C-alpha cells in the first residue's frame, strides 16, 4: 500500500509540473490575446459578447444566477482549453492528496480534536501562581535583553572582549534505528560533556553574573556543535560540519566590529574542547606544546582538591591529567580552529573509552565519581582563569 501511495504521489507531482507548464503557456497566450485585442478591439469585443451569452445560457440551465457583465480576462480564461485541463489536473491532485492524508491520519493525530483540558481547583491555582515572580523575571530575564547593540554602544562594547571557550558536540553517531534490537545513545560521546558544561554555568551562576556586572575584558563562552560525527565514513568533508562552519564564519567576522586586522577567532583566549568523558579512570595527555601549561594547571587543581578531600574514589593525588604524556593529534571539533591559529586544550582521554562507538555507551556504563570529580576540577579551572572569587549565595537570590 505504501508503495502504491508513493507511486501515486510521484504521478501527482508530475501532473502538477505539467499543470504549471500549461499555466505558463496560458499566460503567454493571454498576453498575445491582449495584444490582438488592441489591434482589433471591435472583433475581440464581438467574440467576448458571444462567449458571455453562451456562458449565461449554460449557467442558467444549471439553475445559477449569473451576470453577463464579465471582463475579457474571465472570458478568455473560461474559453481556453488549456485552462480546462489545468483545472482538471488540479482537482485530481487535490483529490489524491486528500486520500493520502486520510490514510495517514493515525488515531493519536486526531486526539487534538477531542482533547479536553482539566480544571484546577482553587488551592491548585494558588499553589501554581505562587511560583511566578515578576520581579525576578524583570531582573534576571527582561533587563538583560533590553540592551542597545549598535556599534560602540555599551551593549556592543560589552561583547568585544576576549573569551575562554568551552566546547563540545551534541550530536551522536548515527546507526540505523533498532540495529539488532538496540539503539546507540552516545553517553560519553558526547552527552556527558554537554551536561558538564551546563552544570558548570548553573553552579557558577552567581559568579558569572558578578563578573558580567564588572564589565571585564575576559568572559566565558560556550559552544555546542552539531554534525561532529561522520554520516557515512570519516573524511575531511564528511565530519565536523558545525565546527567547520563556525570557524569559517568567525574568521570572516570582524572583531571588534569595524576592525580590519582582527576577527572573532582572535578573541578566543583558549579553546577548551571536551569529548568522550564519563568513563572510569580517564587519562588526558598533552597534544599541543603551546597549551601544555594549562594542562599542568588542571593537574595542579586535581592535586589540590585531592589533598583537601574534595574528590571521590580518588586514591592518588594525580589520576586524570598528565602533561608529561605526549599523545598524537585527534580529529575533533577543535581542528578547524587549530588550523586557523587558535590555541587549543583538548580534553579527550587516551585511550578512548572501551564503549566508544558501541551500543554500550550508555548511562549504565558511566562512572559518577569520575564525572563529579571532573566537574569540580573544571569549575575551579574556569573560576581561576577568569580571575573570579566564589560568591556567598544570598538566600533571596537562590533559584
For 207-258, give the DSSP string. Answer: HHHHHHHT--SEEEEEEEES--S-SSS--SSSS-HHHHHHHHHHHTSBSSTT
**Which residues are CB-neighbours of 155 under 8 A, at least 6 positions away?**
147, 148, 149
State which residues of the chain have pLDDT below 50: 41-80, 82, 86, 395-396, 398-399
Q: How many CB atoms lie within 10 A of CB 374?
A: 25
Q: What is the pLDDT of residues 104-135, one digit of tens each?
A: 567 877 888 888 888 989 998 898 888 888 89
**Alpha-carbon span 180 to 189, nearest angstrom:** 21
Task: Give span(s): CATH 3.40.630.10, the chain.
Answer: 153-397
Q: Is 259 helix (H, G, I), strand (E, B) or coil?
A: coil
Predicted structure pTM score: 0.68
CA-wise closest residue to 349 among 376, 379, 370: 370
Q: What is the pLDDT of residues 77-102, one digit of tens each?
A: 344 454 555 455 555 555 555 555 55
- The three cell numbers of residue 307 are 589533598
H helix or E strand, kind and range, residue 351: none
- The three cell numbers of residue 60 are 442558467
Dihedral of CA 58/59/62/65: which sign? negative
Quick one: pLDDT at residue 98?
56
Quick one: pLDDT at residue 104?
54
Q: Hey, what's the torsion of the CAs at 373, 378, 379, 380, to 10 degrees?
A: 90
- The three cell numbers of residue 213 are 556586572
Class in CATH terms, 153-397 = alpha beta
**Which residues are CB-neighbours of 274 under 8 A, at least 6 positions away?**
166, 167, 168, 190, 193, 196, 197, 347, 348
Helix 368-385 and helix 292-307: axis angle, to 10°?
120
Residues labelled as active-site residues: 228, 275
Could you give the C-alpha distances from 69 to 52, 157, 168, in angstroms and in order? 8, 67, 70
CA-wise closest residue to 378 among 283, 302, 292: 302
Quick one: pLDDT at residue 250?
97
Amino acid at each position: 500500500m505504501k508503495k502504491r501511495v508513493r507511486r501515486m504521489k510521484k504521478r501527482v507531482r508530475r501532473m502538477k509540473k505539467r499543470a504549471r507548464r500549461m499555466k505558463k503557456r496560458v499566460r503567454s497566450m493571454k498576453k498575445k490575446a491582449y495584444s490582438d485585442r488592441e489591434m482589433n478591439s471591435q472583433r475581440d469585443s464581438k467574440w467576448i459578447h458571444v462567449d458571455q451569452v453562451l456562458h449565461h445560457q449554460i449557467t442558467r440551465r444549471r439553475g445559477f444566477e449569473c451576470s453577463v457583465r464579465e471582463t475579457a480576462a474571465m472570458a478568455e480564461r473560461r474559453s481556453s482549453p488549456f485552462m480546462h485541463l489545468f483545472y482538471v489536473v488540479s482537482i485530481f491532485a487535490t483529490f489524491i492528496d486528500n486520500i493520502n492524508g486520510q490514510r495517514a491520519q493515525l488515531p493519536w493525530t486526531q486526539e487534538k480534536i477531542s482533547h479536553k483540558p482539566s480544571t484546577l481547583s482553587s488551592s491548585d491555582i494558588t499553589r501554581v501562581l505562587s511560583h511566578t515572580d515578576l520581579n525576578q523575571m524583570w531582573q534576571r530575564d527582561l533587563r538583560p535583553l533590553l540592551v542597545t547593540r549598535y556599534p560602540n554602544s555599551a551593549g556592543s562594547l560589552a561583547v568585544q572582549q576576549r573569551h575562554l571557550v568551552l566546547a563540545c558536540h551534541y550530536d551522536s553517531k548515527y546507526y540505523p534505528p533498532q540495529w539488532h534490537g538496540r539503539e546507540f545513545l552516545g553517553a560519553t560521546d558526547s552527552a556527558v560533556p554537554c551536561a558538564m558544561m551546563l552544570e558548570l554555568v548553573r553552579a557558577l551562576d552567581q559568579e558569572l553574573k558578578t563578573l558580567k556586572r564588572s564589565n571585564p575584558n575576559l568572559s566565558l563562552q560556550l559552544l555546542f556543535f552539531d554534525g561532529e560525527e561522520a554520516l557515512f565514513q570519516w573524511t575531511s568533508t564528511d565530519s565536523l560540519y558545525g565546527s567547520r562552519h563556525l570557524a569559517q564564519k568567525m574568521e570572516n567576522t570582524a572583531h571588534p566590529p569595524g576592525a580590519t586586522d582582527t576577527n572573532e577567532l582572535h578573541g578566543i583566549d583558549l579553546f577548551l574542547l571536551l569529548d568522550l568523558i564519563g568513563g572510569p579512570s580517564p587519562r588526558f595527555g598533552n597534544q599541543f606544546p603551546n597549551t601544555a601549561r594549562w594542562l599542568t594547571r588542571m593537574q595542579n587543581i586535581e592535586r589540590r582538591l585531592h589533598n583537601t578531600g574534595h574528590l571521590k574514589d580518588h586514591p592518588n593525588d594525580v589520576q586524570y591529567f598528565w602533561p608529561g604524556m605526549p599523545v598524537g593529534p585527534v580529529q575533533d571539533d577543535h581542528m578547524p580552529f587549530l588550523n586557523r591559529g587558535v590555541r587549543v586544550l583538548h580534553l579527550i582521554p587516551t585511550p578512548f573509552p572501551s564503549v566508544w562507538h558501541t551500543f554500550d555507551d550508555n548511562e549504565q556504563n558511566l562512572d559518577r565519581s569520575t564525572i563529579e570529580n571532573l566537574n569540580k576540577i573544571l569549575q575551579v579551572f574556569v573560576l581561576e582563569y577568569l580571575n573570579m572569587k566564589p560568591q556567598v549565595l544570598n538566600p533571596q537570590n537562590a533559584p
